[in-house]
């Protein structure tokens, strides 16, 4: 098939889902159609759009004859070359993606939950059939992190991927830091501004970032990884005083995704609130922005920054995949989509991962408390690099409390947990300490 013959027959797209991102994709495909065809030199049109409710009033003007409320039509229409899945969720979206691949139609999706939870089946199916699935929009919104990992950094062994990939939680952390807001108050604000979903659970408990981390790790190491392998903790238990302590110590607090490959092949894979040195470039990423630092054995350190979510940035990512899919459709036997190439990935048990730590413990204002806690850390062979305490404050019942912060030398997470199990049994110690990783970051500093 030559380019001139293509000019006569546009490629046909089927779009499933006309929510926020679906609407953005449809709008942009219309609005910037000229520049897309000029740059890609491939004519195309959206042939069908599947929606749940045909009668809903919409922001975009989709011709009535294009609309259907049955996604099967996209898969079954022999004219449709590429299916764009923007339904979300893991039920209908799963059925649609599997059906489209089986119908030999390349799929473009931004569905992180689907790929994180069903990556094993979906990537295997794609490999078996030789039909690609593209997913730039599944992590980092408009930031081209997927294409960069897959293509631009192709000659690199990926040593680490560290970053902020959930805008909602980053907005909350920024608010807590800048204005001393409580977690609850900052979350409420994020919801009012439309940055947080009605149900923000996955954003604040770290699992949205966890899904994205799984996808990045699968791509970076060419294999599938079960969601059971990732350790995830969220930001719900942070208090304004953690930000005060962090600032005094020269840090800020970020919900960090950490994917780090060790010399022996072991892989760290975790999402946890962490201290980041204030002079590090990642510390300066605030509000709903995302930033992902990738270190490769050849390229060294790189960092990608941008809007990690939202209608337009995500549409930009979806459409870059659509164009790639269109190019690949012309030569399907040699598509450029993600191909598994490794069957093995030894994800470390979280208990074995080592960093220094920040541990804040609320204690009653009595003598001997610091000594008691320090003795337990010593018994577990954990070194203390610094101790700070806050001014005393009274609770509603008139008891006087202090916040104590212990900065601990590097030790395995499991060893720390064992020591904390002892600490919280001490008298005069609140049983819910706040534990933050101190992430060893590279030289991306001022």
Annotated active-site positions, please?
A: 212
Kindly tell me which of 98 and 340 has the beta carbon lying closer to a copy of itself.
340
CA distances from 384 to 136, 245, 251, 368 (A): 43, 16, 18, 17
Between CA 346 and CA 224 the distance in angstroms is 11
Residue window 406-435: x/- pattern of binding to a copy of itself, with contact defined by CB under 8 A: ------------------------------
Kindly tell me which of 240 and 306 has the beta carbon lying closer to a copy of itself.
306
Between CA 415 and CA 351 the distance in angstroms is 7
In angstroms, give the least distance from the CB of 347 to a copy of itself.
19
In angstroms, give the least distance from the CB of 329 to a copy of itself.
10
Asked if 104 is part of the footprint of a copy of itself (rule: CB under 8 A), the reply reads: no
Using CB under 8 A, which of the segments 63-71, 73-81, 147-155, 378-386 binds a copy of itself? 147-155
Evaluated on CA atoms 168, 170, 175, 176, the torsion sign reads: positive
Find the binder of a copy of itself among 46, 319, 405, 407 (CB under 8 A): 319
Between CA 10 and CA 132 the distance in angstroms is 20
Find the binder of a copy of itself among 90, 152, 390, 415 (CB under 8 A): 152
Asked if 367 is part of the footprint of a copy of itself (rule: CB under 8 A), the reply reads: no
Q: Binders of a copy of itself among 155-194, rule CB under 8 A?
A: 155-157
Find the binder of a copy of itself among 320, 353, 419, 434 (CB under 8 A): 320
Asked if 127 is part of the footprint of a copy of itself (rule: CB under 8 A), the reply reads: no
Asked if 41 is part of the footprint of a copy of itself (rule: CB under 8 A), the reply reads: yes
Using CB under 8 A, which of the segments 84-92, 104-112, 277-285, 411-419 binds a copy of itself? 277-285
Find the binder of a copy of itself among 18, 36, 361, 373 (CB under 8 A): 36
Residues in CB range of 222: below 8 A, 6 or more apart:
339, 340, 341, 342
Find the binder of a copy of itself among 30, 342, 392, 417 (CB under 8 A): 342
Asked if 331 is part of the footprint of a copy of itself (rule: CB under 8 A), the reply reads: yes
Using CB under 8 A, which of the segments 79-87, 93-101, 300-308, 375-383 binds a copy of itself? 300-308
For 242, counting Cβ atoms within 10 Å of its Cβ (0-12 exposed, 13-18 middle, 19+ buried), the class is buried
Find the binder of a copy of itself among 7, 19, 30, 39 (CB under 8 A): 39
Asked if 38 is part of the footprint of a copy of itself (rule: CB under 8 A), the reply reads: yes
Asked if 277 is part of the footprint of a copy of itself (rule: CB under 8 A), the reply reads: no
Q: Which residues bind a copy of itself (CB under 8 A)?
A: 2-3, 24, 28-29, 32, 35-36, 38-41, 136, 142-144, 147-148, 150-157, 222, 279, 281, 284-286, 289, 296-307, 310, 312-313, 315-317, 319-320, 323-324, 327, 330-331, 333-334, 336, 339, 341-342, 444-446
């Amino acid at each position: 098939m030559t380019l001139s013959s293509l000019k006569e027959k546009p490629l046909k797209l089927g779009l499933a889902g006309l929510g926020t991102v679906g609407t953005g994709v449809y709008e942009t495909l219309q609005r910037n159609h000229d520049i897309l065809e000029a740059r890609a030199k491939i004519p195309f049109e959206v042939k069908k759009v599947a929606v749940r409710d045909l009668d809903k009033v919409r922001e975009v003007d989709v011709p009535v004859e294009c609309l259907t409320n049955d996604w099967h039509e996209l898969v079954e229409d022999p004219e449709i070359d590429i299916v764009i899945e923007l339904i979300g969720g893991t039920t209908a979206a799963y059925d649609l993606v599997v059906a489209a691949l089986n119908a030999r139609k390349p799929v473009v999706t931004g569905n992180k939950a689907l790929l994180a939870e069903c990556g094993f089946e979906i990537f295997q199916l794609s490999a078996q059939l030789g039909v690609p699935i593209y997913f730039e929009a599944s992590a980092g919104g408009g930031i081209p992190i997927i294409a960069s990992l897959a293509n631009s950094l192709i000659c690199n062994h990926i040593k680490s991927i560290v970053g902020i990939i959930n805008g909602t939680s980053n907005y909350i952390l920024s608010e807590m830091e800048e204005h001393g807001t409580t977690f609850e108050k900052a979350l409420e604000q994020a919801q009012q501004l439309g940055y947080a979903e009605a149900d923000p659970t996955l954003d604040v408990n770290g699992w949205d970032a966890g899904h994205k981390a799984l996808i990045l790790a699968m791509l970076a190491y060419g294999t599938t990884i079960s969601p059971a392998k990732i350790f995830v903790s969220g930001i719900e238990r942070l208090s304004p005083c953690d930000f005060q302590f962090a600032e005094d110590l020269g840090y800020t607090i970020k919900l960090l995704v950490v994917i780090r490959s060790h010399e022996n092949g072991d892989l760290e894979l975790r999402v946890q609130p962490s201290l980041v040195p204030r002079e590090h470039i990642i510390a300066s990423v605030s509000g709903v922005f995302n930033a992902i630092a990738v270190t490769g054995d050849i390229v060294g350190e790189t960092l990608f920054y941008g809007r990690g979510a939202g209608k337009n940035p995500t549409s930009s990512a979806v459409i870059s995949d659509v164009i790639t899919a269109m190019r690949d459709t012309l030569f399907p036997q040699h598509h450029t989509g993600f191909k598994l190439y490794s069957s093995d990935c030894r994800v470390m048990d979280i208990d074995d991962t080592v960093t220094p730590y920040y541990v804040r413990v609320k204690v009653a204002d009595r003598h001997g408390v610091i000594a008691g806690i320090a003795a337990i850390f010593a018994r577990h062979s954990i070194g203390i690099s610094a101790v700070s305490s806050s001014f005393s404050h009274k609770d509603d019942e008139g008891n006087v409390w202090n916040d104590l912060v212990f900065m601990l030398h590097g030790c395995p997470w499991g060893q720390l947990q064992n020591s904390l199990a002892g600490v919280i049994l001490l008298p005069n110690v609140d049983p819910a300490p706040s534990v933050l990783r101190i992430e060893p970051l590279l030289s991306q500093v001022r």
